[in-house]
Amino acid sequence: MSAVKNIRSAIEKGQGILRLIPVFVPRRFSAPGRRLRLHPDDYFALGTNRGAIKERWFASVITCMNGPLAPADEGLSYVLPASGDVRQKFTLRDAQTELGDELVGAKLMKKYGGWPMYSKFFDFGEPLFHHLHLRFDSAAKVGALGKPEAYYFPPQLNNHLGTFPATYFGFDPDVTKAQVKERLAGYTKGDTRITELSRAYRIVLGSGWYTPPGVVHAPGSVLTYEPQWNADVNSVYENIAAGEVYPYEFLVENCPRSKKLDLDYVISLMDWEKNVDPHYGKHYARPPVRCPHSDAKHEEKWISYANPYVGAKELTVQPGQTVTVKDGAAYGCIVIQGQGRIGTYRCEAAGMLRYGQLSADEYFVSEPAARAGVTIACESQYEPLVMLKHFGPNHPDMPRAKDLGLKE
């Protein structure tokens, strides 16, 4: 079967829904939290030189920036074909190229040329380094995109909270740029302890945050669901985190070559006003917002919202119930609890996967299917079926910042 026929067959058989293959991603730094529902023997499935597997990516049409040892397709989502033969798999990016408006909708194709976001679970057993993601103007100077992102902390995947379940955001309002520059100047000399200048917020399971690009942050040791823009660029401000030493290149790897020794340029990567916002928690925390169509059979909550880039919802269907849920935009989704059906597919949350094993927990729903309504059934006897759904910026019902007194 030709590649085009393979793609067309999959979208037709799935009635507008594609079944995705799990994508696990290693990282060279930090320690794994071991909450990805991956077999304990498989966290180093790609070898110790690649680092432990600490992330699972969803609905991705981009590759990750993961060093010279990474394969060319690392991070890309693959679709299981209608035949079920994994040897005929194709990427979600190829499906997007072939299907265009039929998959992601005319608005996203016209404005962004395709699906503009992806999501992931990141799973670190220790707190991550204090870092920022580039704003769009800074990223453009190195041929990349800016990276706004959102966080949600699912209780179903956090049976333990790691060593430090709190996240640093920005700097104390009294901190000056000169103080930050002084810490960065000692990057190769000793522990700069830059988080002494920051503020930590204890993580609340079942809630989340929006993190604008240009805000320095150090995520805590909790498995986090992270909808984000199609980018993988950062600047690491903390040189020693949880006892691990990071080289100077981590600070400047996304700076133009002529600016790598220019600390004033490095500091300019920050959105300073947001970093020292005295009401940061009030403006950027994102507690769940219940959708009005929720009822006794199901409940849907916005868990990422009030920003111009990404959205996400958590859908809970009660045991033995079947509901049809409509959305005004395409989305990817991951089942994190229970089992049942989504459209024409059997679905189930993963219990423990081997690396490379197929699963029945991840899907991509085309815009036409989402608008028509997706029928979801919970066939668990006692457990609800819980699904996380990630959207681009075009969902018409996403709560807006100005209506809630929040900031973007």
C-alpha distance from residue 47 to each of 165, 238, 392 (Å): 28, 27, 34
- Which CATH code, of 3.40.50.300, 2.60.120.10, 3.30.390.30, 3.40.50.720, is assigned to 3-284? 2.60.120.10
- The angle that helices 92-99 and 3-13 make with each other, rounded to 10 degrees, is 90
3-state DSSP percent of the chain in helix, strand and coil, to 5: 25, 30, 50
Identity of residue 238: E
State both tokens at 310. 């990404």
Q: Please state whether the predicted TM-score (pTM) of the whole model is above 0.95.
A: yes
Q: Write out pLDDT tens, residues 7-57.
A: 999 999 999 999 999 999 999 989 999 999 999 999 999 999 999 999 999
Neighbours of 381 (CB within 10 A): 9
Class of domain 289-397: mainly beta
Say if residue 210's pLDDT is above 80. Answer: yes
* Residues 233-244: tens digit of each pLDDT: 999 999 999 999
> Per this entry, what is the length of the chain?
408
Residues 43-100 pLDDT 10s: 999 999 999 999 999 999 999 989 999 999 999 999 999 999 999 999 999 999 999 9
Q: What is the pLDDT of residue 3?
A: 87
Q: 1: pLDDT confidence band, cut at 50, 70 and 90? A: low
Cβ–Cβ < 8 Å for 311, 302: yes
Domain residue spans in the chain?
3-284, 289-397
Q: Establish whether domains 3-284 and 289-397 are of one fold.
A: yes
Contact 46, 38 (CB under 8 A): no
Are 200 and 167 contacting, i.e. CB atoms less than 8 angstroms apart? yes
Phi, psi of 183 (to 5 degrees): -65, -45
